[in-house]
Amino acid sequence: MFARFRRLRGLPHKKKEHEQIEYTASNAGLSDDLLDKANSSLVALNLTKTRITKEQIAEMLRIVGQNPTSSDIDDKLQALKIDHKDHFTFGEFVHLWAIYIQGMDQEEDLLNKAFQFFDRDGNGVISAEEFKSVMTELGDPLTDDECRLFISLVDKNRDGELQYEEFLDALKSEGGVLGVESMVRQ
């Protein structure tokens, strides 16, 4: 009986809810290249790895290609359960950045689903007929001329159909031409 107890003592203990998780660069799940990029942002701002303010986190995120708002950062710090702190470590920063990267992956998935929603026959392009059919299904019927006009406005290679990159450009243009987020989440 005591032998089994001794073995159990050697197992890692489950953390209690009030115990803080230790966020380090090595357990953030980022590649070495991304960690190097994050470290470069730290060096560019002449910061230490142990006393980074929220404002400096925003600057570091801008250097690594993000454009966070203060409330975005607050939400992500709260998700990591470190929103009560005034200063953060490099490990906490890279965990925060990992959340941003995950969000980018989710956005890419959403855009892929939107393209597939319009590409009814699955051939990798959206024809004017497919576009018209989907818009009608969404409650915004267009005439044949309106569909051809839309396609001609975003069809960069002038083949009369939308490839994935042309579709993305249309979505990412000012105002998001197609309003895809609401459509895909139906």
pLDDT single digits (tens) 101-147: 777 767 777 888 888 999 999 999 999 999 999 999 888 899 999 98
Domain 119-184 indexed as CATH 1.10.238.10: yes
Where does the pLDDT of residue 58 fall: very low under 50, low under 70, confident under 90, or very high at 90 and above?
A: confident
Angstrom CA distances, 184 to 73, 99, 116, stand at 26, 22, 10
Residue range(s) of every CATH 1.10.238.10 domain in the chain: 20-106, 119-184
Task: Answer yes or no: are the C-beta atoms of 171 and 111 closer than 8 Å.
Answer: yes
Which neighbouring-strand residues pair with 52?
A: 88
* Eight-class DSSP state of 20: P
Task: Answer yes or no: are the C-beta atoms of 58 and 74 closer than 8 Å.
Answer: no
**Percent of the chain with pLDDT strictly greater than 70:** 81
Coil, helix or strand at residue 71: helix
Axis crossing angle, helix 32-44 with helix 54-63, rounded to the nearest 10 = 120
Both tokens of 118, joined, read 């319009």
Domain 20-106 indexed as CATH 3.30.70.260: no
pLDDT at 110: 80
pLDDT at 11: 46
Q: How far apart are CA 181 and CA 165, in angstroms?
A: 17
Angstrom CA distances, 119 to 137, 143, 167, stand at 14, 19, 11
Radius of gyration for the alpha carbons in the chain, expressed in angstroms and rounded: 24
Both tokens of 142, joined, read 């267009």
The C-alpha angle 141, 106, 156, rounded to 5 degrees, equals 50
Worst-scoring range by mean pLDDT, 15-19, 47-51, 70-74, 85-89? Answer: 15-19
183 vs 87, more confident: 87
pTM above 0.85, yes or no: no
- The 10 Å Cβ neighbour count of residue 156 is 10
42-56 tens-digit pLDDT? 888 887 777 888 888
- The 10 Å Cβ neighbour count of residue 85 is 15
Q: Going by C-beta distance under 8 Å and a sequence separation of 6 or more, which residues neighbour residue 73?
A: 54, 57, 58, 61, 96
